[in-house]
DNA sequence: CTGAAAGCGCTTACAG
DNA sequence: CTGAAAGCGCTTACAG
């Protein structure tokens, strides 16, 4: 069974391909009689005509496809929400979003041999080579500062870390430690958040916190013992899973939380909300972030200026642990 | 700046487009002198030539793109791992994987106007209409039983539920309850797991468990009280987040776990490993599942038979809570 | 060993 | 109001 083309529809409906194209694309300014219109549509449906995306793209020089490039690391619900919203917003412009999970080790160049995207949205920074290839291929790139090596996401990470530290400082802690994840793929995130914690501590004239790796899913008994011996009274954790591991470590040593050790996470994960004590955490206002991403992409497509990053994107949810 | 085409490379290198195509695609059987080869490659790089995916696809009638269609619900790390592996395996065949997060309410038909995929991998079942459109467009579809309305994922979900119940039954429990999530998007998963639990209970001649919605992230105090009053001694939870909420509910009533109430989750999430008591759970052997998915897709591409679903895909990780 | 030419399926300026 | 024709950029049978 050969593919059904617009020529088949035209022949069957007794018109030219031109008319078929006009009708099926609702080309403005094309005036085709009502009955012809109906007949063409009916014929297309009956034959099961599906236009060739490749031919369309080749002819128009641009596709309706937006590729979102995600980093390799486990992304979670925030990114899901972001993409969901982006998909909705772009759908109103007739654009489709497809997601590519990118391994840093591999070049993106080969991907453009398989697809001709309208626009590429980067949620991770691109390698300079990749950026150059895309620019040369005339692909529009959004979501990452094109010349700086820092994305708005990096900035957001720093803000999150700062918020954690400021909360701890405000509660009177003076010796703060940082619990970072041991998954190397999370490094870039962790570095950003840690930088924020350190900046806030420095601003409060406190000693700069040391970072110790705390694997999620194992009680952090050793780390907690070391902190206790060093006089640390509060720890900022990379995320809620890491914070929960710290909580378990404290329990193992009979340390009372938050009196003897305060703990703050990031994510506002369900597990933290039902921990004992309930975990204090930093929540990201996903709705706001989603709006911003979608607006940035739209602006880029329209050649407008990018909207400013919202002022105060994250917030502390104070519960029992800090 | 106009797009660089193979004609530009040909002119600049002093050869025909034919030769450029042969060299850049390493066409077998094309014998081009070494120095010409080098010159063409060098010229292509210098000009920043990127072949047009659309033209290539149009000409060959098939693209190198595989689209994975995911359902709308929060997917999490298992699916990430699956896709990661699939991407790796297909890369060895020169294929690229792009992911589409699909809302059931919306038709997939429009997507095929933006891309011409080589193959579509469905991790959720497709609507009959969508399936028909794809077949007509000559798109190969994998990963979902094409005529039955049940995917291998549905089967897997039932197996998980059965495992939970069997573990509880083996421990001597006779009154078992089911805690399902309140996120409606998870319904399909929850139904499958619940069916497995019920089947296993029926097989053990026990009363069929009632399902009560337990929101993740809130101590399930009311649900636990009701279970206690009804003489329930064990609960199978949809996943670890829900199980943790049950654990918190038990704590709120001073119920000892597992003696007065046993709890089993699904996922082997980090938070469950550091809970008090550590959560007993069902772990999915992601590596095996990944192999199976990748092998299925490869088989479909090669026109071979799909490999059988592995016998015993999930396993109970017994810890403190059941 | 290399090139001229056809054709994939579409859209759109142009002619009628 | 409708059609014939060009051309998007590539690959590949064919001729030399």
The answer on pLDDT for B147 being more than 50 is: no
Please judge whether B115 and A137 are an interchain contact, meaning their C-beta atoms are less than 8 angstroms apart.
no
Q: Is residue B106 part of a domain?
A: yes
Q: Is residue B290 part of a domain?
A: no
- Strand D closer than 7 Å to the CB of A138? no
pTM of the model: 0.85
CA of A24 to C1' of C16 (A): 23
- Shared domain check, B70 and B35: no
Between positions 31 and 60 of B, the ones with CB within 8 A of A are 48, 50-58
- Shared domain check, B160 and B208: yes
The answer on pLDDT for A112 being more than 80 is: yes
Q: Which of A91, A125, A149 corresponds to the end of one domain?
A: A149
For residue A44, the distance in angstroms to the closest alpha carbon of chain B comes to: 12
pLDDT in tens, B115-125: 888 898 887 77
**Which runs of E-coded beta strand occur in B188-247?**
211-213, 234-237
pLDDT in tens, B51-109: 899 999 999 888 889 999 887 777 777 788 888 889 888 988 889 999 998 877 677 88
- Shared domain check, A202 and A124: no
pLDDT of B314 reads: 87
- Shared domain check, B194 and B163: yes
Nucleotide with the nearest C1' to A21 CA: C11
pLDDT of B290 reads: 85
The answer on pLDDT for B233 being more than 70 is: yes
The answer on pLDDT for A9 being more than 80 is: yes
pLDDT in tens, B151-200: 667 778 899 999 999 999 999 999 999 999 998 888 878 999 999 999 99
The answer on pLDDT for A312 being more than 80 is: no
Q: Which residues pair with B203 in a beta bridge?
A: none
- Shared domain check, B191 and B218: yes
**What is the domain extent for residue B95?**
60-149
Which of B174-211 are b and which e, b meaning 16 or more Cβ less than 10 Å from the residue's Cβ? ebbbbbbbebeebebbbbbbbebbbebbeeeebeebeb
pLDDT in tens, A123-150: 777 878 888 778 777 788 886 544 445 6
DSSP state of A71: -
Report the residue from A101, A106, A251 with minimal CB separation from B83.
A101
- Shared domain check, A274 and A159: yes
Round to the nearest angstrom and report the end-to-end CA distance of chain B: 67
Report the residue from A1, A50, A133 with minimal CB separation from B133.
A50
Average pLDDT, chain A: 88
Please judge whether B100 and A98 are an interchain contact, meaning their C-beta atoms are less than 8 angstroms apart.
yes
Q: Which of A98, A126, A149 corresponds to the end of one domain?
A: A149
CB A211 within 8 A of CB A183: no
Please judge whether A271 and B244 are an interchain contact, meaning their C-beta atoms are less than 8 angstroms apart.
yes
- Strand C closer than 7 Å to the CB of A51? yes
- Shared domain check, B94 and B40: no
A219 touches chain B (CB under 8 A): yes
pLDDT of A280 reads: 98
> Which residues of B fall within a CB distance of 8 Å from A57?
53-54
CA of A27 to C1' of D7 (A): 20
A152 touches chain B (CB under 8 A): no
- Strand C closer than 7 Å to the CB of B39? no
Q: Is residue A306 part of a domain?
A: no
**B58/A53 Cα distance (integer angstroms):** 9
Q: Is residue B185 part of a domain?
A: yes
- Shared domain check, B87 and B175: no
pLDDT in tens, B211-222: 999 999 999 999
- Shared domain check, B127 and B18: no
Please judge whether B116 and A217 are an interchain contact, meaning their C-beta atoms are less than 8 angstroms apart.
no
Q: Is residue B206 part of a domain?
A: yes
pLDDT of A187 reads: 85
Mutate to test the interface with B, among A274, A277, A290 (most CBs of B within 10 A): A274
Q: Is residue B320 part of a domain?
A: no
pLDDT in tens, B250-308: 999 999 999 999 999 999 999 999 999 999 999 988 888 888 888 888 888 888 888 88
For residue A209, the distance in angstroms to the closest alpha carbon of chain B comes to: 25
CA of B13 to C1' of C2 (A): 13
- Shared domain check, B272 and B158: yes
**A115/A136 Cα distance (integer angstroms):** 15
**A201/A165 Cα distance (integer angstroms):** 7
Q: Is residue A241 part of a domain?
A: yes
- Shared domain check, A87 and A163: no
Please judge whether B274 and A80 are an interchain contact, meaning their C-beta atoms are less than 8 angstroms apart.
no
Q: Which of A149, A175, A192 corresponds to the end of one domain?
A: A149
Q: Is residue A295 part of a domain?
A: no
- Shared domain check, B178 and B114: no
**Total count of domains within chain B:** 3
Going by pLDDT thresholds of 50, 70 and 90, the confidence category of residue A72 is confident
A111 touches chain B (CB under 8 A): yes
Least confident of A180-194, B136-150, B222-236, B255-269: B136-150
The answer on pLDDT for B128 being more than 90 is: no
Identify the top-confidence range among A38-47, A239-248, B287-296, B313-322.
A239-248
**Which runs of E-coded beta strand occur in B26-165?**
65-70, 96-101, 119-122, 140-142
Nucleotide with the nearest C1' to B9 CA: D9
CA of A27 to C1' of D13 (A): 38
Domain of B111, CATH number, reads 3.40.50.2300
Between positions 274 and 313 of B, the ones with CB within 8 A of A are 274-276
Strand C contact nucleotides, protein CB < 7 Å = 1-5, 7-13
């Amino acid at each position: 069974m050969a593919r059904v083309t617009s020529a088949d529809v035209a022949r069957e409906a007794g018109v030219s391909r031109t008319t078929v194209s006009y009708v099926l694309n609702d080309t403005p300014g094309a005036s085709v009689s009502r009955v012809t219109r109906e007949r063409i549509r009916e014929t297309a449906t009956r034959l099961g005509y599906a236009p060739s995306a490749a031919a369309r793209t080749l002819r128009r020089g641009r596709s309706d496809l937006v590729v979102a490039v995600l980093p390799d690391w486990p992304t979670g619900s925030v990114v899901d929400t972001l993409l969901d919203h982006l998909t909705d917003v772009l759908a109103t412009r007739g654009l489709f979003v497809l997601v590519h999970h990118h391994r840093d080790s591999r070049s993106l160049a080969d991907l453009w041999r398989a697809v001709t995207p309208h626009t590429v949205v980067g949620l991770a920074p691109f390698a300079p080579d990749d950026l150059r290839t895309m620019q040369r291929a005339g692909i529009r790139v959004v979501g990452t500062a094109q010349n700086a090596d820092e994305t708005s996401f990096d900035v957001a990470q720093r803000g999150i870390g700062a918020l954690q530290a400021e909360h701890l400082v405000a509660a009177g802690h003076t010796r703060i430690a940082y619990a970072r994840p041991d998954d190397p793929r999370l490094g870039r995130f962790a570095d950003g958040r840690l930088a924020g914690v350190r900046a806030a501590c420095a601003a409060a004239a406190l000693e700069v916190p040391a970072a110790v790796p705390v694997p999620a899913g194992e009680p952090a008994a050793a780390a907690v013992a070391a902190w206790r011996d060093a006089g640390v009274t509060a720890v900022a954790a990379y995320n809620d899973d890491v914070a929960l591991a710290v909580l378990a470590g404290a329990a193992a040593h009979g340390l009372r939380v938050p009196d003897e050790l305060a703990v703050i996470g990031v994510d506002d994960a369900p597990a933290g909300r039902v921990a004992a004590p309930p975990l204090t955490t930093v929540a990201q206002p996903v709705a706001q972030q989603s709006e911003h991403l979608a607006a940035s992409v739209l602006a880029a497509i329209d050649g407008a200026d990018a909207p400013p990053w919202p002022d105060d994107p994250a917030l502390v949810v104070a519960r029992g642990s800090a």
